[in-house]
Amino acid sequence: MSQSNNPDVRVGCPQCNGTVNASLPPGSGLGSPSPNRLRGTETECRNCGHELEFYYY
């Protein structure tokens, strides 16, 4: 089974309870010695336009 380089994340929108999808690029992981390891991306709900931010390692 192959794994995508950009995993999809699905969460509920806090404004309208719609489903929000985001594709996250690969991160360095929790074991990385990099001090700037936390990254983020923005997306918006297709139902109501509410902006969401996703943070990942």
What would the pLDDT profile of 42-57 be if each residue is shown by its tens digit?
889 999 999 998 887 7
The model carries a pTM of: 0.60
Distances (CA, A) of 29 to 14, 15, 16: 27, 30, 32
- Kindly report, residue by residue over 8-44, the tens digit of the pLDDT: 888 899 999 999 988 877 666 666 666 667 778 888 9
3 state DSSP class of 12: strand
